[in-house]
Structure 1
Amino acid sequence: MSAWWTAGGCVVGVAILVLVRRRGVVRRLPGGGGLAVLVLAALAATGLSVVLALPARERVAEWSGSVVEVTGTVTSSASIGRDGRLWFDAQAKTLGTRGRPTVLPAPVRIGIEPGDGFDLGARIRVVGEASATDAGERAALVVFASEAEVVEPAGGVFGAAAILKHAFVERSLRLPEPGAGLLPGLAVGDTRAVTLELNDDMRTSGLSHLTAVSGANCAIVVVALFWLTALCGGGRALRVVLALAGLAGFVVLVTPEPSVIRAAVMAAIGMLTVLLGRPSAGAGMLSLCTAGILLADPWLATSPGFALSVAASGALILLAPPLARGLATVMPDTVALAIAVPLAAQLACGPIIALFAEQQSLIGVAANLLAAPAAPIATVIGLLACLAAPLPFLADLLTAASWLPAAWIATTATTTARLPNAQLLLPAGIGSAVLVALVSVCVSVVLLRSADVPRRPSTVRAMVFLRRGAAAVLIIVSSLAGARILLDGPLATVASPEGWSVAACDVGQGDALIVRSGDRVALIDTGPAPEPLEACLRSLGVDRIDLLVLTHFDLDHVGGTTAVVGRVDAVLHGPVTEDSERRLLAVLLDGGARVDEAWAGQRGELGEATWRVLWPRRGSPVFPSGNDASVVMEFDGGGVPRSLFLGDLAAASQRLLMRAADLGGYDVVKVAHHGSADQDPGLYEALRARVALFSVGADNDYGHPRIETLDLLTATGAQDLRTDQQGRILLGVHGDELQVWTERAGEE
């Protein structure tokens, strides 16, 4: 039905556009009528693009949950995801079961183990499990590949670009860290060598935009070519032509991603306006580029990266100049401009970031001020080093020269990210976005100079009122933020009771549970991201982890592991099957931890408490890895209530666990798999737990915890405690009494 509505909208929009053009209505429409017509035309064109893509997307969705064989062409650059896989987009030519392909052109996203040859333009064949995407995503299907093969390497200009980039990456990695892995990202947008830890630090410090090829990189290339051509005596027309040619080559080299194309088109139109003598139409050019790209690819409208790119560009054009003039009243012009540029970008991007991320960088402006001078040097010299690959001596020299600014940027990121309160955690969503937008507007109003508004008396009075109101809002927000920083920092443990021994951290849709006996601490899983886990550990005064248990390697259970690297003594983990899992364990080993695989029957002590592993069985052919091979831990004694942590076990493995272990009479049970419906009632009846912990996110697409699971635990007499409703949950024992502290009151 939605497709028919969209098609109808397309027809109506096109009809209106043809009518008004033939009748000359656009010229006669009053006020914003012409704009309305253009909006209708854009809606019609966008709707047409969506309708034409729907049949293939609907047919592809039928393969969700199946193991498929896909052949196609790589259409994007590849990058390492948080799960350790190499991710890229491809245009599928055939898709189906092995040996029985169906001709079905459709966009797909593929995740594989890291490897070479998966470059833009390469023809590939992959086999893996398929999963349908949401309607708002460009890729109609995500394929988690178990087999991958490059049928034909990239050829033509894309093949030549891939050879140059591979040679540059290899040459860069010969240099020491920090800086070696970051250099290809700065110069040509290849982030495959950037470590997960550095990537997190870049995001925390507000520097992640430097590794994403955008308008800044295109501007650097254009300015460099303009300057070199002018230095050689070339006129304005020649400068523009050479800059356009160089920009086109740069886009091919770094891979024509949507954000790169937008930036390149923006730069190209900017050069044309210079050639035509109208260099001041920046906002109009940005609007034209954005509208044009969205007409060609409507799914970019749901891309946070694209939204951030456009918002930052608009802020630099519209907001940075008046901010610089306002700041210049209290500081030198050069310093004011240097501060205004990153400040404008952060003010514009902050509300968008708050929609989908839980952290706001508080040191982004300072970090950008420190890193900004090195970015163009690393980009230009690194780009020249990449192009000089056929001349090894020159390429080595240029790569070494570009390593120094890259090392400076990497050091800036790691240093600033580790400053106290480098970022502020906010729950992602509309509420946080509105709050951040309000703060951004208030900061802008306070800093704008009076000369930037009309001098009419009514306007002056209104501006004074707005400034006073904005200042008052900033004072209130700053006071609340300062109190939050104190409670999360020096006073973090003030709000935590002393008698807790089991804690369920509120880390969203994932597990992170702490057991404490005396001064010894065990952490069971690390949640989906490091920031929420770090905040929870800090609030509880936990600095060192004596035992880290990684029940299995799903992202919602190990995504926050970087928060505790270097702070762990011993690690127990579930079965390992993929290279990304081995790399994660290697990071913990490098941090000084002892690493062992967990099997049923292992025992140990945590302070005065004892623990034992109940699952999985050693060498089990039934459940070799994944959810059903989750490590199940039991803790008891030493001030710890008798507790059972079930990982993500499904009903079948729960039944085997019940038959293999002596279970019953628990104070606390961590319900398996965030309270999914796949539970064995007999297990929970045997456990007879007094408290059931649900570690679950408030906004999850799975419906966790399921109502039938809640009813099941209630029927066994357990008290349900949920991190999505109560936030962080603490439990302790006082005599025979089980004490419970929650961060907030639960919902009935």
Structure 2
Amino acid sequence: MSLDLRLVLPALAVWLTAGLLIGAPTVAGAVAVTLWIVAGGCIGVLMISRMARRIEWPTAPRSRRWQTACASVLLCCAGAALVATAVAAWAPVRLPPEVRDAAGSHAPVTATLTIWSVPVAAKAFIGSGTSGRVRYKATLTQIDSRGTTAHVSSPVVVFGEAARGGTEPEIGSILQVRGTLRMTEPGDAAVALLFATETAYGVAAPPWWLQWANELRAKFATAATSLAGDGGDLLPGLAIGDTSAVSPTLDAAMKTSSLSHLTAVSGANCAIVIASIMLLGGYLRLRRSWRIVLSLLTLLGFTILVTPEPSVLRSAVMATVTLASIGAGRPGRGVPTLLFVVIGLLVSDPWLARNYGFALSVLATAGLLVIAGPLCRVLSQWMPSALAALIAIPLAAQLACQPVLILLSPSLPLYGVPANILAGPAAPVATVIGLIACLALPVLPGVASGLLALAWIPSAWIAAVAQAVSTLPGNRLPWPGGAWGVLLLGVGTVLTLVVVLRGPGARPARWPVAVLAVLVVGLGGYAGSLIGTGIGRAVSFPANWQFPANWQIAACDIGQGDAVVVRDGDAYGLIDVGPDPQLLSTCLATLGITRINLLVLTHYDLDHIGGVDAVIGRVDTALVGVPENAQDESLHARLTAGGATVRQAARGDSGTLGGLHWNILWPIRGATTMQVGNPGSITITFDGRGIRSIFLGDLGQEAQDALRRVSPPGRVDVVKVAHHGSADQSPELYAELRARVGLISVGVKNTYGHPTNKLLTILASVGTLSACTDQEGMSVVAPGADGALVLWTEKVAARGPPGSPTETPAALRMS
């Protein structure tokens, strides 16, 4: 059966236009006008071509070629013009001047919100930590800032304290929250992040058509999570899309084993529900029209229950179109229906263009429609058809989605397909039985309990597969990241499919084989050199080269400046904030941090305080030095206005951060020398959970020697090297510290020559391994087994003084 691909180019044009314009909405109007003009020109060409054929111009036979080309351009331009018009119309509504001004001023606001997602723990994007708060999506409907009230309609993400007693805001409820707004990147689905500083209170309850779903969702989640182990925690996600009970460890295991699409409700769940209703209707001998109506009503209720996330929305709309075409007696074909739905959804909401969930849902569906059938036919030549289908379905979805997944994690899952073969058949069983149990809870709680126990079995099986696969050695292979990685993988996948799926009687395709061989050799050599070099350098690696979930120290890559995070569980400390709020915000978002329990500003140089806007309104306690001028005092006032307790720190001050003990070694309170600028940098130590660390700010050699005399620091495991690795260092201090890791926060191609050869030689002479953010990106330290340390960096780079051998890859365990 041939594929109908006529809408491929228009769909790509719409998607590309939406993806570009939501990042630059100010030009959307001009682009829309231009595209409408081009579309009008195409219509004119088509009309002239048609007239030419009617009056039999000499060129009329050739006009068919132009007619086809113009029709294709017309569809592309019309679709792109529609989405450009939508961006131009909606962008000012989403981000009005009142919201932009409130975010820019960093002043506290009172916001009225309508909630439209289930509150979940604010988990880290890397690792398995949580922020101790909840996050939820909402629409900002009213904002009160500096005495001015404005009515708006802006999508935001709210970070707030978890409600006492476990009662979180419900979908559809209206709340008022006191907090601070911070802009997101252009093109993000939410225009701003709202960090709540005061407990929200309710203004209005959800409407009845949402309240029933809220109550049903809450009852089911409570009943399911009372079941034992990971199976009970995973079941609400499989059945109704509630992932709030999924632990960070299980979530990481699901992602590592390529089973994360099963963690929450996706488009496949909608298909399962529709298929179940249609089969039930056939068993009850209902007329086709009644089965379609019943399926549509069930789909509507299911979408409300599980919330219309992008993948669910795509599947629901596609199912609606398919059912409508069946009802009209003209069943549609899968690929055109998918492309039509993609165009419609992107025109109605262009901000879906950069949504990973939406992209993966579309690609997975396309893979199943286009690739799964031919793969199954090829595989069935060597195995039973049922087994071939079982392998072809997850393999097709994996192949289609992997180019996008590379953007999220530059690695290839080695066991992804086997894991899906093992876990995939259990997902529909858990979904159907779990959903029936959910619906039965209010009326037949006893029956529902039995059904929950049955649904727990496939849910626990999926969790067990994920946990087992995630622990297998080498389950992810390295691959180039970014656009080049996507391009290479996409080309390699297409060429492989061209070779594999050619019919047995087809002529050999030499050019795909040749290009594929070049790709395999080239990329294989790249990956092999990376792996081989890493193994040759390493003592041992953290599991799967993954970011260590139990990390304690993270040096952000924020250019020429300092911003280092110290963590214990959900408690976070931040030493300095770097030169740029945007760079710091990116680092904190990567680490999943929304609240800073302890902020230390070592001194008032711009490369240490310039990024403070990123944390205003998010700090509990701030330790600062003696203010040198009115600007420094103003900084203190801004922190205080944002809800922070500001204290001047000096030698002898101490406290705790979670289970870590901190102590201030420098400066000396009341002293008259070396108390300002670099020599007055606050020097702090942290001790606990297997790591003792010291942070030296920008102390020079004279101040470092004075520190040794009045506050001998003793041995440490980690040192934040002073002054970005300048030459003004005390060899005696570093010899006393004898740290195993030296973190150097430094900018690429800085004009100071940091880190200097002198400093790198000092570190190497005392056995301290240097990790520089300019070469290795974010550098993270975690406690290992038997007193070892684990060092993880974003990039592989040589460490140590010039001429020394390269020591480690991106992950290393040190004794």
The within-5 A match list for 1:170-209 is 170-209=222-261
Name whichever of 46-55 and 269-278 sits farther off. Answer: 269-278
Gap regions ≥5 residues in structure 2: 1-20, 51-65, 125-129, 557-566, 575-585, 601-617, 621-656, 670-680, 762-769, 777-794, 811-815
Instruction: Tell me which residue corresponds to 2:788.
Output: none
Instruction: Tell me which residue corresponds to 1:470.
Output: 516
Name whichever of 353-362 and 251-260 sits farther off. Answer: 353-362
Question: 1: distance between equivalents of 2:255 and 2:757?
Answer: 45
Instruction: Tell me which residue corresponds to 2:806.
Output: 741
Gap change, CA 1:614 and 1:259, over 3 Å in 2: farther
Instruction: Tell me which residue corresponds to 1:598.
Output: 661
Asked if the contact 1:506/1:728 (under 8 Å) is kept, the reply is no
Question: 1: distance between equivalents of 2:732 and 2:377?
Answer: 68
Match of 2:108 among 67, 79, 103: 67
- Is 1:460 the counterpart of 2:507? The answer is yes
Instruction: Tell me which residue corresponds to 1:136.
Output: 187
Question: 1: distance between equivalents of 2:705 and 2:542?
Answer: 23
Asked if the contact 2:259/2:416 (under 8 Å) is kept, the reply is yes
Instruction: Tell me which residue corresponds to 2:369.
Output: 317
The within-5 A match list for 1:391-406 is 391=443, 392-406=445-459
Instruction: Tell me which residue corresponds to 1:90.
Output: 138
Aligned-residue Cα RMSD (Å) equals: 4.9
Asked if the contact 2:39/2:73 (under 8 Å) is kept, the reply is no
Asked if the contact 1:168/1:184 (under 8 Å) is kept, the reply is yes
Give the match's secondary structure for 2:353.
Answer: helix
1:598 Cα deviation after fit: 1.1
1:715 Cα deviation after fit: 11
* 1:152-205 per-position Cα deviation (integer Å, ceiling 9, x unaligned): 232221111010000000001111012111000000111011111101101111
1:469 Cα deviation after fit: 4.9
- Number of paired residues? 632
Question: 2: distance between equivalents of 1:616 and 1:372?
Answer: 63
Instruction: Tell me which residue corresponds to 2:572.
Output: 552
The residue type equivalent to 2:382 in the other structure is V
Instruction: Tell me which residue corresponds to 2:13.
Output: none
Asked if the contact 1:378/1:406 (under 8 Å) is kept, the reply is yes
The within-5 A match list for 1:179-578 is 179-279=231-331, 281-391=333-443, 392-450=445-503, 460-461=507-508, 463-467=509-513, 469-470=515-516, 473-474=519-520, 492=535, 494-496=536-538, 525=553, 552=572
1:210 Cα deviation after fit: 1.2
Asked if the contact 1:126/1:145 (under 8 Å) is kept, the reply is yes
Give the match's secondary structure for 1:741.
Answer: coil
* 1:641-671 per-position Cα deviation (integer Å, ceiling 9, x unaligned): xx97429x799xxx99997845899999535
1:553 Cα deviation after fit: 5.4
Question: 2: distance between equivalents of 1:21 and 1:435?
Answer: 38
Give the match's secondary structure for 1:246.
Answer: helix
Instruction: Tell me which residue corresponds to 1:11.
Output: 33
Instruction: Tell me which residue corresponds to 1:52.
Output: 89
The residue type equivalent to 1:552 in the other structure is Y
For normalisation by structure 2, the TM-score amounts to: 0.67
Give the match's secondary structure for 2:186.
Answer: coil
Give the match's secondary structure for 2:371.
Answer: helix
The residue type equivalent to 2:117 in the other structure is S
The residue type equivalent to 2:202 in the other structure is V
The within-5 A match list for 1:676-691 is none
Asked if the contact 1:180/1:407 (under 8 Å) is kept, the reply is yes
1:362 Cα deviation after fit: 1.4
Gap change, CA 1:19 and 1:481, over 3 Å in 2: closer
The residue type equivalent to 1:130 in the other structure is L
Question: 2: distance between equivalents of 1:178 and 1:683?
Answer: 54
The residue type equivalent to 1:204 in the other structure is T
Instruction: Tell me which residue corresponds to 2:69.
Output: 32
Gap regions ≥5 residues in structure 1: 514-521, 529-546, 562-572, 580-593, 602-612, 618-627, 697-703
1:70 Cα deviation after fit: 1.5
Gap change, CA 1:671 and 1:100, over 3 Å in 2: farther
Question: 2: distance between equivalents of 1:739 and 1:634?
Answer: 31
Match of 1:108 among 156, 161, 172: 156
Percent of residue pairs identical: 31
Question: 2: distance between equivalents of 1:122 and 1:523?
Answer: 37
Question: 2: distance between equivalents of 1:328 and 1:78?
Answer: 46
Asked if the contact 2:555/2:773 (under 8 Å) is kept, the reply is no
Question: 1: distance between equivalents of 2:266 and 2:450?
Answer: 26
Question: 2: distance between equivalents of 1:160 and 1:81?
Answer: 26
1:447 Cα deviation after fit: 2.9
Name whichever of 215-224 and 96-105 sits farther off. Answer: 96-105
Asked if the contact 2:478/2:527 (under 8 Å) is kept, the reply is no
The residue type equivalent to 2:295 in the other structure is A
1:525 Cα deviation after fit: 2.3
Asked if the contact 2:411/2:478 (under 8 Å) is kept, the reply is yes
Asked if the contact 2:568/2:660 (under 8 Å) is kept, the reply is no
Gap change, CA 1:394 and 1:336, over 3 Å in 2: same
Asked if the contact 2:568/2:658 (under 8 Å) is kept, the reply is no
Give the match's secondary structure for 2:230.
Answer: coil
Instruction: Tell me which residue corresponds to 1:541.
Output: none
Question: 2: distance between equivalents of 1:142 and 1:616?
Answer: 39
The residue type equivalent to 2:500 in the other structure is L
* 1:226-283 per-position Cα deviation (integer Å, ceiling 9, x unaligned): 0100000113222222111111111111112232111101112222333344446111
- Is 1:725 the counterpart of 2:775? The answer is yes
1:400 Cα deviation after fit: 1.5
1:423 Cα deviation after fit: 1.5
For normalisation by structure 1, the TM-score amounts to: 0.72
Instruction: Tell me which residue corresponds to 1:670.
Output: 720
The residue type equivalent to 2:33 in the other structure is V
Question: 1: distance between equivalents of 2:799 and 2:749?
Answer: 24
Question: 2: distance between equivalents of 1:598 and 1:634?
Answer: 5
- Is 1:162 the counterpart of 2:245? The answer is no
1:394 Cα deviation after fit: 2.0
Gap change, CA 1:276 and 1:330, over 3 Å in 2: farther
Give the match's secondary structure for 1:180.
Answer: helix
Asked if the contact 1:74/1:89 (under 8 Å) is kept, the reply is yes
